[in-house]
Amino acid sequence: MPLIEVTNLRKSYGTKVAVDSISFSVDRAEVFGILGPNGAGKTTTMEMMEAMRTIDGGTVTIAGLDVARQPDRVRRIIGVQLQSAAFYEKVSLSESLRMFAAFYGRTVDPLKLLGDVGLAEQARLFPEKLSGGQKQRFSIATALVNRPQVLFLDEPTTGLDPQARHNMWKLIERIKAQEITIILTSHYMEEAQRLCDRLAIMDSGRIIALDSPSQMIADLIDRGFSKPALATLANLEDVYIDLTGKALRD
Amino acid sequence: MRALLLFAMVQLKHFLRDPIYLFFILVFPLVFLFIFGTIFGGSRDVNLTTALLNNSDTEFAQDFVERLKAQESQSLKILSDDLSFEDARLKMARGEIDSIIELPPGFGSVGQTAAQQGEESPAAVTQTTPPSVFLPTGQLRVYYDEGSPQAGQIVATIMTGILDQINGALMGTTPPLSVEQVSVGVNGLSQFDYIFSGLLSYVLMTMGIYALSQQLPAEKRSGSLRRIKATPFRAWQLLTGLALAYLLLTLLSAALMIGVSMVVFDFQMRGSWLVLAAFSIVSALAMIGIGALVAGVARNSNQATVASQSIAFPMMFLSGVFFPRYLMPDFLQNISSWIPLTPVGDGIRYITTEGVGLPDLLPQLFLISAWGIVAYVLAFRLFKWE
């Protein structure tokens, strides 16, 4: 039985339909990607699943809990990394993490958690002192304080430099290895292809494709698609990483 | 509960480590205190400056001028440069002086003998001659600006007093009926002690309404509230935690203000500190509730600023915190007795100047709590996270 089931989910703002009756399911320990152009409804879909936004129609259940009916119980078993989140300035990372853990009635070892995302040395810093990549990793640390069953990541690598992006991918793979189900939105196809077990591609509030990345590629080739240029053995990103190295530049 | 306390702790750290917040919390009320304390503090005397124009060449007038100069003090400054009447009037129009005393030509002129002996030996004059014939006569004029009749009245009163003295001395009698002015400050309270209640109420209100209604919308914009919304922490916990943090900040601000008032302005407390603390806590919580309601409902800082200003500003002036309410017309007094800051200001004044205890403050406490409860219930229900 799937861990997450989304059935005929709808959301509209006035006359504009943001999410148009979409359905999909996600299995436990799967990494599920939602792709699509800006305004396709990715974030709205995520936020309805996270109990951040009211659901106009349809249902979302996570581990058997109806998100619309039991939002508080759902919030306890999910972790959320938002696109537009901030943390209290002048409050150290450790202090912030303790507070977030307390919201779930838990106590955490902030150093352990920060170590997991590579921020042990920054434990006493304030969030306003962090680089973009560090901020995103801290944001993920706050989303892990309650040992969630499902982790929502909304564009976790947008705006990061290639080193920070590669570093974030490794972090996401480590989280996946802990059997945590991950829902991820992204604008980077390389990222989706590397991380996601299955993908939904959205456009204008609808899901227009839903499958594993490799199957999607195979289907495209079956439809007679071929790239005009021969695939090269390396791309520019490989050149860039080769020249600048993989070490993080926070 | 632990979540709530930790959240309040984080809020406190967030403020106390930020110099800008600290300025508003600690320094701003002190600036206010020094401005009002200097205006009203220490002496309760008025400061008047008056120009003295002597157009009389009699010796009595000369002596009178000397006598007036001897009377010069902190409260009455006498400008006796040789001003023309027009110059003096111009100065008065500009507000540089408050009034003009004119000794008209011939002031104090009578029989030479009387004028010569003048005030030095009035007894001899009265003994040897009928007073009405040899005594100096004259009428001095006090000019004042139509806009500030008090200044004119005060100077006229002082002049009347001096002339009465001289008259009495000349006639060798004491008037049978007279007025003695005795000031009766209750328990020797200074004017500062009275305005102190207003300043303290002001601090409770600013910290509660202004500060919170600035902070919360800023957090809605930055996204830190959104992040908390994604956790099981609910609006009532968030607002209660904020109220707790703000209560401590308000008390800190108030304590600092009381300390400075005692050291610098010699503030005299008549009542019990415990009663004042208890009363201030209830008042501060109610004010914070109003702030939380405004800030919780407002979608952005602009809305919050407009809303909090339009609540706090009229309240400040209608509550009698700065101007006594008895100066207002009846209908305004009736309305203003119900606004939340009125019982706060009244209660603090009763405690600090009259030493009233909690049982006698029940009407005030009741009204403040009623406002507070309504504010919190609405704030919990209407709170918007973003």
B296 falls within a domain: yes
Query: Are B315 and B301 in a shared domain?
Result: yes
- Across the interface, whether the CB atoms of B230 and A82 are under 8 A apart is answered yes
| B contacts of A72 (beta carbons < 8 Å) | 232, 234
B182 falls within a domain: no
Nearest CA in chain A to B9: A99
- Across the interface, whether the CB atoms of B226 and A84 are under 8 A apart is answered yes
pLDDT of residue A59: 96
pLDDT of residue A239: 85
pLDDT of residue B41: 61
Query: Are B370 and B262 in a shared domain?
Result: yes
The Cα–Cα gap between B379 and B377 comes to 5
Residue B139 pLDDT exceeds 50 = yes
Nearest to A50 among B11, B13, B230 (CB): B230
Q: How many degrees, rounded to 5, is the angle at CA B237 between CA A68 and CA A64? A: 25
Distance from CA of A139 to the nearest CA of B (A): 9
**How many CB pairs below 8 A link A and B?**
69
Domain membership of residue B87 as a residue range: 48-171
Query: Are B132 and B163 in a shared domain?
Result: yes
> Most A CBs within 10 Å: which of B4, B219, B231, as the mutation test of the A interface?
B231
> Which residues in chain A land under pLDDT 70?
229-231, 250
B62 falls within a domain: yes
Cα A177 to Cα A26, A62, B126, distances in angstroms: 16, 20, 119
Q: What is the pLDDT of residues B179-215, one digit of tens each?
A: 776 655 555 667 787 788 888 999 999 888 888 888 8
Query: Are B293 and B162 in a shared domain?
Result: no
pLDDT of residue B324: 78
pLDDT of residue B286: 96
Query: Are B66 and B8 in a shared domain?
Result: no
- Across the interface, whether the CB atoms of A80 and B230 are under 8 A apart is answered yes
Residue B157 pLDDT exceeds 50 = yes
The Cα–Cα gap between B381 and A139 comes to 29
By C-alpha distance, which of B362, B335, B316, B320 is closest to B205? B316
Nearest to A88 among B10, B231, B232 (CB): B10
What is the enclosing helix (H) or strand (E) of B51?
A: strand B48-54
Residue type, A10: R
To the nearest 10°, report the CA torsion of A239, A241, A242, A245.
160
pLDDT of residue A249: 75
Identify the CATH number of the domain in which residue B109 sits. Answer: 3.40.1710
Residue B248 pLDDT exceeds 70 = yes
Q: B379, exposed or middle or buried, with CB in 10 Å at 0-12, 13-18, 19+?
A: buried
Crossing angle of helices B341-349/B362-382, nearest 10°? Answer: 150
Query: Are B28 and B61 in a shared domain?
Result: no
pLDDT of residue B156: 83
The CATH architecture one would assign to domain A4-244 is: 3-Layer(aba) Sandwich (3.40)
B180 falls within a domain: no
A22 touches A9 (CB < 8 A): yes
| B contacts of A99 (beta carbons < 8 Å) | 3, 6-7, 9-10
Span B239-248, mean pLDDT?
Answer: 94
Q: What is the pLDDT of residues B352-376, one digit of tens each?
A: 988 899 999 999 999 999 999 999 9
By C-alpha distance, which of B150, B197, B209, B268 is closest to B36? B197
Residue type, B69: K
B183 falls within a domain: no
| A contacts of B227 (beta carbons < 8 Å) | 80, 82, 85-87, 139, 142
User: Could you state, in order of their start, the residue ranges of all structural domains in chain A?
Assistant: 4-244
Query: Are B240 and B225 in a shared domain?
Result: yes
Query: Are B257 and B358 in a shared domain?
Result: yes
Query: Are B158 and B29 in a shared domain?
Result: no
Query: Are B131 and B210 in a shared domain?
Result: no
Residue B128 pLDDT exceeds 70 = no
pLDDT of residue B129: 46
What does the mean pLDDT of chain B come to? 83
* CB proximity A94 to B under 8 Å: no
Residue B124 pLDDT exceeds 90 = no
Quote the number of domains for chain B. Answer: 2
Q: How many helices, marked H, and strands, marked E, lie in chain A?
A: 9, 10
Q: What is the pLDDT of residues B44-76, one digit of tens each?
A: 556 778 888 888 888 888 888 888 887 777 667
* CB proximity B2 to A under 8 Å: yes
Q: What is the pLDDT of residues A216-246, one digit of tens each?
A: 999 998 888 887 766 677 888 888 888 888 7
pLDDT of residue B361: 95
Nearest to A86 among B6, B9, B227 (CB): B227
B214 or B9, higher pLDDT: B9
Domain boundary among B171, B204, B225: B171
How large is the ipTM? 0.90
Cα A41 to Cα A17, A33, A61, A159, A231, distances in angstroms: 9, 13, 19, 20, 32
> Most A CBs within 10 Å: which of B227, B228, B234, B386, as the mutation test of the A interface?
B227
Domain boundary among B138, B171, B204: B171
Span B324-353, mean pLDDT?
Answer: 89
* CB proximity A100 to B under 8 Å: yes
Query: Are B22 and B125 in a shared domain?
Result: no
Query: Are B131 and B231 in a shared domain?
Result: no
- Both tokens of B67, joined, read 């006598």
pLDDT of residue B251: 93
Using the structure block, give the residue that is written with the tokens 């202004």: B210
DSSP-based three-state secondary structure for A30: coil
B176 falls within a domain: no
Residue type, A99: M
B134 falls within a domain: yes
By C-alpha distance, which of B33, B38, B101, B30 is closest to B72? B101
| B contacts of A86 (beta carbons < 8 Å) | 222-224, 227
